[in-house]
Chain A
Amino acid sequence: MNKPLAPHIRTEARTGHMMLDILLAALPLGVFSYVNYGLRPVILLLISMGTAILCEALCCLVGHRPLRTVMDGSAAVTGLLIGLLMSPMVDYWVPMLGAAFAIIVVKAPFGGFGRNVFNPAAAGIAVLTFCFPRRMFSYPAISTVSTLPLSMTVEAGEAVVEQSLAAQLRAGATPSLSKLQLLLGDFAGPIGATAALILGAFIVYLLFRRSVSPWTVIPYFVTCAVIAWLFPLTGMGRLYSAMAQLCAGYVLFTGVFFLNDPVTTPRFWLGRLFYGFFTAILVMLLQRIGRAEAGSCFAILIMNALSPIIDRWSWHVWHWLMRLRHFRKEVKAHG
């Protein structure tokens, strides 16, 4: 008989529950995209998730790992994130390629969920950005479409293509959007990265469920907001410019999803604080000088590589500070 080790009571929280939280909370984003563009983005999401799950199952079979690891939901989340960053009019094979790359190249070779160095979804998007920039960043104008045809391609020119908000800001143009439109996500952009209100509600839900840490989220958003406030990109006032910069591209999406991937972020609270802070600086920097949209993905990948170092050093710094404090106390007490 196998004797259980202490503790004999355990928390109800499970890894799978954390992933399920993300999947459930992302449902409103799916509904939002359906309302804006019809069934096509929903199919894109399902294809992306399905490909990721299939690839994960394949990797489990090849790596002689139990198939039940697919059920932890991490592959589905990777697929979902890739799908949410697709343009609604992208070809169906593009998210499939991104999801397959994320799972087969970025996740599985390192040992699967929990051992990957880079965020698979961010890496998948980065590769798609390099390979298919035109397909990735061609967005249909939201005001002109009610439903996108299911069998459309970017080349066919079946939808009115509009410059994204991030591209407009980078080009120095003044967006013709009201503040309400910015908040509601009523502008051209990726399937799930424009709805600021939904993403805001989502992060509050995840914080409440303790699926994400405030030590990363708060420094990230505060730093982003401060930078956007200090260095406006439009001449429509600091507040509008800050709002536009936060809603543009993947800035919000990164803060909500990529930044909170537990595997690739530091675990120690001080490390998380540094991680959120430096990611925000990098994201805002790349938003100006790099490829407008995908700058966040590259920022996340760079920070993923630095994450273990940030984690360890922040812990050492914290302990040195604590020792110093203790030493001062001792000196004070005993002369």
Chain B
Amino acid sequence: MRGIEELPVPAAVRMPVGRADKPSPIASLPEEAPLAAGQVLCTPEGDVPVVSPISGILEGTVVMQNSLYGSLLCADIQPEGERTDLLPVIPEDELTASVILDIAREAAVYDELDGSPLWQKLQRWQLPENDPAAKTCILVADATENDVYGSSAWAVLMEQPRLALFGLQMAARALRFSRYHIATMLPKRRRRTLKRAIGRENVYTVGDEYPVTVYADGDTEVYRIGIQACLALGRALKQGLRHTAAIVTVAGDGVPAARNMRVPFGTDLRALLSACQAESHVLPILGDAMTGVACDDLQTPILPGVTTVLAMKPRPIRVPKPCIGCGRCAAVCHAGLLPYEIVRRAENMHYERLQHLSPGDCDGCAVCSYVCPAGRDVAAEVLKAGETKGTMFLNWGEDDNE
């Protein structure tokens, strides 16, 4: 496992500030305005502020057509200087639930598990004071690696475990939870080092399985946030730093060695892959090997939610064969579904009988597609089936209403 390396300063960073069909929210900022890292560019209503990920000069706005994110309006920032815009640091004993929520919002902390702002999650999950449910709820910092290639969560834990734990403690304080821990599947030796650093009681070892389904013992209600979000919150509270970069594992057979890079948001894939000496003609995959999205647009920016980029050499796409009914998909489904039967009913347009099999319970972990000897994209078909409701005629009606 590699430590975290700093990405060499990219030629330009394009930070999305809004949609291309809406007026520019940063129109008030003058062209060629000097920006500090973490400086607020704009604050959309009811959302976290958009901050400059690097210290640089604002060159203006550009509209970027992206195959993944659609049409984005981006602030074009050229790197320059080493200015940093800091938040005021508040002593720990003055950090109440509302203060922590405010700072999580001001620092624009994102949760890498789904790319959503952390404060929104915390606000949603927050318990009233003296709620008895606080005893049965647990906040878990998810530092598991659900991927054979990924190691960014482990790198965070190895490099800054105390700061990450502090962030987790503060998030739990904001939620008024009394229980929290970091869930990880670190190898035994490193786990021992981690337990020595932050305390045995703060580390929970999850099973070596895919996908991880058990994050805590006993009958508890688990609330999960990412370990990078914990670190970002810890840095905001202790050092006044805003969340401006993601820690991304770059791996795959198209790079000489797997690396963990600290990548400012808005950096494009081309800059990241060239810094990792990726071969030309690789197919980048945003996300892990099981659920990631193939993305051949090298101008795609790294945004919150991306923790792994795989540079895979192109390989022939297997022609799917008919299901032979080996039942492996059902045997491995952690949601207890019958993927083969769902796919069969969807293929035969038995929509009215599809819902009995609860295809909506599929979380898209794709393990059924992985084990399928016929090479079928079972997970994609189940997810598609999960979107159907009632009969096909009802589905048509739904489309018409849109």
Binding site for B on A (CB under 8 A): 1-11, 13-15, 17-18, 69, 72, 74, 111-115, 213, 262-269, 272, 311-312, 315-316, 318-319, 322, 329, 333
Interface presence of B3 (CB below 8 A): no
Q: B373, A6: Cβ atoms under 8 Å?
A: no
CA distance A108 to B356 in the complex (A): 31
Q: Could you name 18 residue pairs across A and B whose Cβ atoms are closer than 8 Å?
A: A5-B369, A5-B380, A6-B289, A6-B292, A6-B366, A7-B369, A7-B379, A8-B312, A13-B371, A69-B321, A114-B374, A267-B326, A267-B340, A267-B341, A268-B327, A311-B341, A312-B341, A329-B219
- Scan residues 348-363 of chain B and give those whose CB is less than 8 A from a CB of chain A: 356-357
From A8, A15, A311, contact of B374 by CB (8 A): A15
Known: A4-B294, A5-B380, A269-B331. A11 touches B371 (CB 8 A): yes
Interface presence of B70 (CB below 8 A): no
CA distance A312 to B344 in the complex (A): 13
In whole Å, how far is A53's beta carbon from the nearest beta carbon of chain B?
A: 17
Known: A6-B366, A13-B371, A114-B325. A267 touches B330 (CB 8 A): yes
B337 to A, closest residue via Cβ:
A315
Determine the chain B residues whose CB is within 8 A of the CB of A333 once the complex forms: 219
Q: B290, A3: Cβ atoms under 8 Å?
A: no
B327 to A, closest residue via Cβ:
A267
A18 to B, closest residue via Cβ:
B373
Q: A10, B318: Cβ atoms under 8 Å?
A: yes
Binding site for A on B (CB under 8 A): 148, 219, 283, 285, 287, 289-294, 296, 310, 312, 315, 317-318, 321-327, 329-331, 336, 338, 340-341, 356-357, 366-367, 369-375, 377, 379-380
Chain B facing A: main interface SS: loop
Determine the chain B residues whose CB is within 8 A of the CB of A13 once the complex forms: 371, 373
From B289, B324, B325, B326, contact of A8 by CB (8 A): B289
From B148, B283, B294, B327, contact of A272 by CB (8 A): B327
Q: A2, B317: Cβ atoms under 8 Å?
A: yes
CA distance A213 to B379 in the complex (A): 22
CA distance A315 to B327 in the complex (A): 12
Q: A10, B331: Cβ atoms under 8 Å?
A: no
Determine the chain A residues whose CB is within 8 A of the CB of B340 once the complex forms: 267
A319 to B, closest residue via Cβ:
B336
Determine the chain B residues whose CB is within 8 A of the CB of A115 once the complex forms: 322
Determine the chain A residues whose CB is within 8 A of the CB of B317 once the complex forms: 2, 4
